[in-house]
Structure 1
């Protein structure tokens, strides 16, 4: 719980309270305007408390996330490195490899479009000559 009393978290707590009180106050103001005959204010009278609820929801999620992160840090300390051993290499963060098809695409219907073929030759030339500019293309 000590983690939730840092200056950043105190600012978050204060911001949450100010926003919720402000949004609920604006909702009450819209209720009084709606009671005076302003029919559009009925929608706003519902909208402001929803905003307040959203602020509480986001604050609660951030609070749980911070507590869960601190609990995981305490539960899983880093293993001590043995003297003279190589430093441990962290596992990559990517869980699934990205699979890319290396097979050239076949034109739809089997027909080869002349402009498409010329463009593909141009792209192949650019790929084969990485330092070249597009204006250097001989074709």
Structure 2
């Protein structure tokens, strides 16, 4: 529960409270306008509280995701067997030996991959 009192989460809590209050206030304002004879305001009278409910639902969902996030984080699955990977590396090495431009392109791709992960 301590994680919900970090500066980032406190900002999200404040934002959710401000948005809910503002949306309910807008709904009340539209209700007053509808009572004064503005027929279009009746739709907004119900729309703004729905926005407020949406904020609450998303706020709760974010907190639930944060709580369950620790258990769902796992190591990535191995896509292929180590033996199959070794065979593929050997085939790639043989093809690169035959075509130097392919070898240069594969080194370029490997460098881009390493930079994107780092």
Q: Same fold, TM exceeding 0.5?
A: yes
Which of 77, 84, 87 matches 1:91?
Answer: 77
Query: For the structure 1 residues 2 and 37, does the alpha-carbon distance in structure 2 shift closer, same or farther, using more than 3 Å as the test?
Result: same
Secondary structure of the 1:62 match is: helix
Other-structure match for 1:13: 13
Tell me the TM-score normalized by structure 1: 0.52
Query: For the structure 1 residues 90 and 47, does the alpha-carbon distance in structure 2 shift closer, same or farther, using more than 3 Å as the test?
Result: closer
Q: Distance in 2 between matches of 1:19 and 1:53?
A: 10
Structure 1: gaps spanning 5 or more residues: 79-88, 94-139
Other-structure match for 1:40: 40
Structure 2: gaps spanning 5 or more residues: 80-118
Tell me the TM-score normalized by structure 2: 0.61
User: Which structure has the greater CA radius of gyration?
Assistant: 1
Query: For the structure 1 residues 37 and 67, does the alpha-carbon distance in structure 2 shift closer, same or farther, using more than 3 Å as the test?
Result: same
Other-structure match for 2:29: 29
Other-structure match for 2:87: none
Runs of 4+ in 1 over 6 A off after TM superposition: none
What RMSD over aligned residues (CA atoms) do the two structures have, in Å?
2.5
Q: Displacement, 1:90?
A: 4.6
Q: Distance in 2 between matches of 1:45 and 1:25?
A: 10
